[in-house]
Amino acid sequence: MTVQQAPVALTAKELTSDQEVRWCPGCGDYAIIKAVRSALAEIGTPRDRTVFVSGIGCAARFPYYMATYGFHTIHGRAPAIATGLKLANPELDIWVVTGDGDCLSIGGNHTLHVLRRNVDVNVLLFNNAIYGLTKGQYSPTSRVGTKSPSTPMGSIDNPVSAVEFALGCGARFVARSVDTLQKHLPVVMKRAHAHKGASFVEIFQNCIVYNDGAFAHFTDREIAADTQVFVEHGKPLLFGKDNDKGIRLNTSTLKLEVVKVGENGVTVGDILVHDETNKVLATLLAQMQPPSFPVALGVLYAEEGLDYTTAVYAQVAAAKSKKKAVPMAELLRSGHTWRVGV
C-alpha cells in the first residue's frame, strides 16, 4: 500500500462477484477464495482500489469471482502485467494469482523479476503440483515419479521449491500456508498485504481431480501437528501434538535437526527462535521436508526494502527538479536550429 487511508467497512459478500464459480466441487481454490475475501474484508481497501491479475490455469479464473477490478491475462505473464499496472498507478492494491505451472514454469522469468525488483504486489501461488486446466500433466513442483498423461512412466525431473526459488530471487516477503488453514491463511495474507514491496505466498492447494492428496503427508488432520511447524517471529520453533518437538541448529554441521524438549537434556532454550529477518534461517526452514522434518508454515522471511515504483517515481521527481519540462514547441527547438527564409 502506498497511500495510507482509512479502511472501509467491507464484507466477504461484497467482495463476491455475480459470476458463477467454475472450479470442480471440492477444489482447494474454494477455500482459498474464502480466505482471501475474509482477509480483504479485514484489510478494508476499497474494492475499486483493489485489482486481481492472473495468468492462465485453474487458479487464474480467480479475478472473475471477485467484485474488485480484475484482469485475466495470458500464461505466466501476470507479474509483468501487474508491474506495468503498478507503474501506471502505484496507488492500487495489486494481487497476482498464479499456479505452479504459471508461476514457476512458463512464467518463471517474470516471477524472478517481479520479486527481485520488489514491485509492491502480492503474489499468491496456488501450488497443487499438477496442471489442472490442461487435464492433469505433471508440473514443475510435482515430486519425482508423478504419473500423468505426459509422464505415463512417472516424471523424472526434480521439483522446484517455490519458496527457495523466491528467496533466491531476492524476495523480501516469503510465506507459506495451506488451503484448508482458514484461520492461518487470512493472517498470512494480511501480513503479505501490509508488506511494502513484493510479497510471495505459497499456498498448498489440493486438486481433488488430478492430484488428490498430493500434500496429505503433511496436511492430513491426524498427522498435521507432527508434520507442520508454524513459524512466528520471536517465538521458538516448537511443534507436535504436545508442542514438545522443536527445531535446533546443529552448530557443528550447520544443519537443522528435530529434537524433543525434555529428552537428552534438551530444553526450550535450545530451540531456535524464529527471526523472520534472517534470510539464512528462512532458507533452512524452507528446505525442511517430511518425513524427517515438519513443513514450515507462516512468514518465513520479511524484511523491508525500497519498493520498485517508489524508486521509479523518485527518479521521475529527480528528473523534474533537474530539467524543466519545457513545452513541446520548445523541446523541438532545443539544440542546434537554423532559420531558412523569413
Partner 1 sequence: MSAVSAELPRHIDRRELESVVIRFAGDSGDGVQITGSQFTDTTALAGNDLATFPDFPAEIRAPAGTTFGVSAFQINFGARSIATAGDAPDVLVAFNPAALKVNLSDIHPGGLIVLDTGTFSARNLEKAGYATNPLEDGTLTKYRTLKIDISKLTLEAVKEMGVSSKEGLRCKNFWTLGLVYWLYGRSRQSTIDWLQRRFASRPEIANANIAALNAGHAFAETAEMPGEISSYVVPPAPLEPGVYRNITGTDAMAWGLLAGTQLAGIKLVFCSYPITPASSLLHALANLKQYDIVTFQAEDEIAAACSAIGASYGGALGITSSSGPGVALKGEAIGLAISTELPLIVVNAQRAGPSTGMPTKTEQSDLYQAVFGRNADSPVAVLAARSPADCFEVGIEAVRIATKYMTPVIVLTDGYIVNAAEPWRIPDMGAYEPFPVQFRTDPEGFHPFLRDPETLARPWVKPGTPEMMHRIGGIEKSFSSGHISYDPENHQKMTDVRAAKIDGIANDIPLQTVEDGTEGGALAVVGWGSTYGPISRAVGNLRAEGEDVSHVHLRHIWPLPRNLGDLLGKFDRVLVPEMNSGQLVTLLRAQYLLPAEGLNQISGKPFKISTIEAAIREQLEK
CA–CA dist 300, 292 (Å, integer): 19
Q: Which is nearer to ligand SF4, 126 or 308 (CB)?
A: 126
Q: Which stretch binds ligand SF4 (CB under 6 A): 23-31, 38-46, 178-186, 226-234?
A: 23-31
Residue keyed to cell 523541438: 332
CA–CA dist 155, 161 (Å, integer): 16
> Which is nearest to 192 in space by CA: 1, 333, 8?
1
CA–CA dist 208, 28 (Å, integer): 8
CA–CA dist 252, 264 (Å, integer): 18
Q: Which is nearer to ligand SF4, 36 or 41 (CB)?
A: 36
Question: Quick check: 116 and 123 in contact, CB under 8 A?
Answer: no
CA–CA dist 310, 179 (Å, integer): 33
Task: Choose the contact partner of 92 out of partner 1, ligand SF4, none; CB within 5 to 8 A by kind.
Answer: partner 1
CA–CA dist 96, 109 (Å, integer): 15
The site string for ligand SF4 over 113-152 (x = CB under 6 A, - otherwise) reads ---------------x---x--------------------
- Contacts with ligand SF4 in 46-105 (CB under 6 A)? 58
- Contacts with ligand SF4 in 245-304 (CB under 6 A)? none
- Residue 137 φ then ψ, to 5°: -70, 155
Task: Choose the contact partner of 230 out of partner 1, ligand SF4, none; CB within 5 to 8 A by kind.
Answer: none
> Which is nearest to 145 in space by CA: 211, 55, 217, 99?
211
One residue of 56, 162, 166, 207 binding ligand SF4 per CB under 6 A: 207
Residues recorded for the chain:
342
Q: Determine if 209 is a binding residue for ligand SF4 (CB under 6 A).
A: yes
Task: Choose the contact partner of 208 out of partner 1, ligand SF4, none; CB within 5 to 8 A by kind.
Answer: ligand SF4
Q: Pairing relation of β-strands 238-239 and 245-250?
A: antiparallel
- Residue 178 φ then ψ, to 5°: -130, 145
Question: Quick check: 208 and 183 in contact, CB under 8 A?
Answer: no
One residue of 10, 15, 29, 229 binding ligand SF4 per CB under 6 A: 29
Task: Choose the contact partner of 138 out of partner 1, ligand SF4, none; CB within 5 to 8 A by kind.
Answer: none
Cβ 4 to partner 1 shortest distance, Å: 16
Residues 6 or more apart whose CB falls under 8 angstroms from that of 282 comprise 167, 174, 276, 300, 301
Size of site (CB under 8 A) for partner 1 = 59
Q: Which is nearer to ligand SF4, 128 or 142 (CB)?
A: 128
Q: Determine if 92 is a binding residue for partner 1 (CB under 8 A).
A: yes
Strand partners, 236: 273
Cβ 113 to partner 1 shortest distance, Å: 4
Q: Which three cell numbers stand for residue 301?
A: 522471511
Structural element, H or E, at residue 163: helix 162-169
Cβ 24 to partner 1 shortest distance, Å: 17
One residue of 5, 19, 250, 267 binding partner 1 per CB under 8 A: 19
The site string for partner 1 over 301-330 (x = CB under 8 A, - otherwise) reads -----------x--xx--xx-xxxx-xxx-
- Contacts with ligand SF4 by CB under 6 A lie at 23-24, 27, 29, 58, 128, 132, 207-210
Q: Which residues bind partner 1 (CB under 8 A)?
A: 17, 19, 46-49, 51, 53, 63-64, 66-74, 77, 80-89, 91-92, 109-110, 112-113, 312, 315-316, 319-320, 322-325, 327-329, 331-333, 335-342
